[in-house]
Structure 1
Amino acid sequence: MTDTTTTAPATTPADPAAALTHPLCRTCGTQYAAPRPDCPVCLDERQYVSPAGQQWTSVAELRAAGHTGRFEEEGPDVLGIGVTPQFAIGQRALLLRTAAGNVLWDCVPYLDDSMVRAVEEVGGIDHIAISHPHFYSSMVEWAHAFDAPIHLHEADRQWVGRPDPAIRFWTGRTHHLTDEVTLINPGVHFPGSAVLHWSAGDGALFTGDVVNVCPDNRWVTLMYSYANHIPERPHAVRAAADLLSTYRFDRIYGAWWHRVVPSHGNETLTRSVTRYLAFTHPTP
């Protein structure tokens, strides 16, 4: 494991209220430092530009439109945080209440004062870690609100839409946040994709949609592009499965509400990868 101390340069205005007007892509929810004609995240083949064309909003506009936070317990010491009405991709973040402090896993595009108060009531945020660029969203807003560092893999640096000193880039296959919490780079979906392993209790794996928990939560899957139905390369899926098999986890937490494998996580991943490879790379 190598932990780089490189941070992104600041582009944030001194006035917090002005920051709330940073452009926010309506399709993917990525926040950018300044107005621009396009969203690079949506132009990539793993995402898409709306048929209506590129459209922008801001956190301030979402507040005025009546968006609010949604909070639900998703598992032992795991609090789900989302946005209602649903916006952009619609993922929910997860707040892990660990022995060494709270970790926000993944992020959502929206934040308001009531959400800040609700999170502060359960201990705030000590670290933010994000699975891949589709969920970078308004990560800098969250980092500033809680004075928390953001941990991203160096391989996905190019997708950061709003550089900021709160962002810390790591390299290699693993990065330890605490004695219990490890970030792992499985190398699927994006080169710098990450999943989070929490070793407490029976262990849990937090995957966003790098390893996607299916609607039938007896299964997970891996894809290069979910939006455009492009399968991940078989050799990359095998390598990711081999790496993750070295960790013990009972639960797997996906990217959307209630997408949780409640038990036998290791067996679920192994069985799902076997099924995936049978369809994408069948034996002659």
Structure 2
Amino acid sequence: MAPYNVKETESLLVCVACGTQFPTSNPSAVKTCFICDDPRQYIPPPQQSFTTLTSLRSKHKNTFTPFPDDPSFISVITTPKLAIGQRAILIKTAAGNILWDCLTLIDEETIAEIKEKHGGLHGIVISHPHYYSTQVEWADAFDCPVYLAVEDKQWLARSSDKQVFLDKGKTETAIKIGGVDTGIKAIKLGGHFPGSLVLLYQSRLLIADTLMTTPSALSNFTVNALSEPRSRPKGINTYAFMWSIPNYIPLSADEVIRMWNILKEYDFTSTHGAFEWQNVEGVDVKGRVLESMQIQTKYMGYGEHPFLHTLF
């Protein structure tokens, strides 16, 4: 296989709204983004527009920030904000490195940073189609597989023999490197998309927006304005469960309950969402997921649903 050439595909069209790369440089061949035409997403005014990696590389860069209390997790963020603005998370394991989710921007500096400072990249797992971005570029640059839910295969703009599809109906996949188990588990929850994934490693649950972290998630309810002790008020949610995040369309109560029936089998003490501020930590985190699910179920009009009496 020939070495990856950053210039070979730099003129391919990239959606400005979601960052998805298309397999053509011809503007007349791609007049709209099928991902942004879906009612889960949107096209920013004034109209659909496209750019290229050539243009993006001249204006943006990727930054690497380790988690404050755990340098084996590193947030990778494009600045200034590009497309949706999500972060990727580089996870360092004894078997090798896995990237959770993907960014549109990939350049020589990013490749060198990962290879020379962090020991390379050995696999990519992407939560859902809004973050498919330039996954083929990343897989080619690091000669590694990219794991995707087969249920969401229709949302691929570019195909590659490096794409590995997690079987339909299979809830859990152990992520391996060269046959060695990394300890990372990809868990298929669905909801936002049929195949939406979360990732579990060392009691940290990486959720992207399969579970949407709310602003109240990080409110300081331990003290009041006078620094006096207080308790977290009842009925305050930590997560929302959305079919469309930007268009504010929630998931049904039945779908939320189905997701809980999968997630309740796993233990975790923190969640890490799509954006850098979305880190929720504490021994009560799993209980707060259930509480948030019950709050959403109640206010969607199911005040008598048996699920509201589920305990954790």
The equivalent residue for 1:177 is 175
Pair 1:273 & 2:296 matched = no
Q: The residue matched to 1:228 in structure 2 has which SS?
A: coil
1:19-51 per-position Cα deviation (integer Å, ceiling 9, x unaligned): 121111000111111241110000000001222
2:151 aligns to what?
155
Which residue of structure 1 aligns with residue 242 of structure 2?
Answer: 223
Question: How far is the alpha carbon of 1:281 from its aligned partner?
Answer: 3.4
Q: Kindly indicate whether the alpha-carbon contact (under 8 Å) linking 1:68 and 1:85 is maintained by their aligned counterparts in 2.
A: yes
Q: Residue 107 of structure 2: which of 93, 104, 112 is its match?
A: 112
Query: C-alpha separation between the residues in 2 aligned to 1:21 and 1:194?
Result: 31
Measured after TM superposition, the shift of residue 238 of structure 1 is 0.6
Match runs of 1:9-158 below 5 Å:
16-34=6-24, 35=26, 36-64=30-58, 66-74=59-67, 76=70, 77-120=72-115, 121-158=117-154
Structure 2: give runs of 5+ residues left out of the alignment. 219-237, 305-312
Shift of 1:15: 5.8
The answer on whether the counterparts of 2:123 and 2:145 sit within 8 Å (CA) in structure 1 is: yes
- CA–CA distance in structure 1, aligned partners of residues 31 and 78 of structure 2: 26
Q: Please list every run of 5 or more consecutive structure 1 residues that lacks an aligned counterpart in the other structure.
A: 1-13
Task: Single out whichever of 148-157 and 73-82 deviates more from structure 2.
Answer: 73-82
Deviation at 1:216, TM superposition (A): 2.7
Instruction: Give the aligned partner of residue 210 of structure 1.
Output: 210
- Structure 2 CA distance for aligned equivalents of residues 90 and 161 of structure 1: 19
Deviations 1:85-106 (A, max 9, x none): 1011000100111222111000
CA distance in 2, matches of 1:229, 1:25: 22
Distance 2:93 2:278 in 1: 21
Secondary structure of the structure 2 residue equivalent to 1:217:
helix
Give, in whole Å, the separation in 1 of the partners of 2:98 and 2:216: 27
Q: For the residues of structure 2 that align with 1:280 and 1:71, how far apart are their CA atoms? A: 40
Highest Rg: 1 or 2?
A: 2
Cα 1:125–1:44, aligned 2, differ >3 Å: closer, same or farther? Answer: same
**Matched residue count:** 269
Mapped to 2, the partners of 1:162 and 1:42 lie a distance apart of 16
Partner Cα distance (1:96, 1:149) in 2: 15
Percent identity between the two aligned chains: 33
Q: TM-score, normalised by structure 2?
A: 0.82
Aligned counterparts of 1:26 and 1:107: Cα–Cα separation in 2: 15
Q: Which residue identity does 1:186 align to in structure 2? A: L
Amino acid at match of 1:115: T
8 A Cα contact 1:234 1:281, kept in partner: no
CA contact (8 A) 1:234 1:277 kept: yes
Distance (Å, rounded) in 2 between the aligned partners of 1:281 and 1:204: 32
How far apart are the structure 1 equivalents of 2:282 and 2:54? Answer: 40
* Root-mean-square deviation (Å): 1.8
SS in 2 for 1:119: helix
TM-score by length of 1: 0.90
Counterpart of 2:36, as a letter, is: C
SS where residue 157 of structure 2 aligns? coil
> For 2:6 and 2:82, how far apart are their aligned partners in 1?
22
Q: What is the aligned counterpart of 2:163 among 142, 160, 167?
A: 167
- With over 3 angstroms needed to count, the CA separation of the structure-2 counterparts of 1:125 and 1:31, relative to structure 1, is same
Which range is displaced more, 30-39 or 83-92?
30-39
- For 1:87, the aligned partner's letter is L
Higher RCO structure, 1 or 2 (CA under 8 Å, sep 6+): 1
What CA distance in whole angstroms lies between the structure 2 residues aligned with 1:257 and 1:42?
23
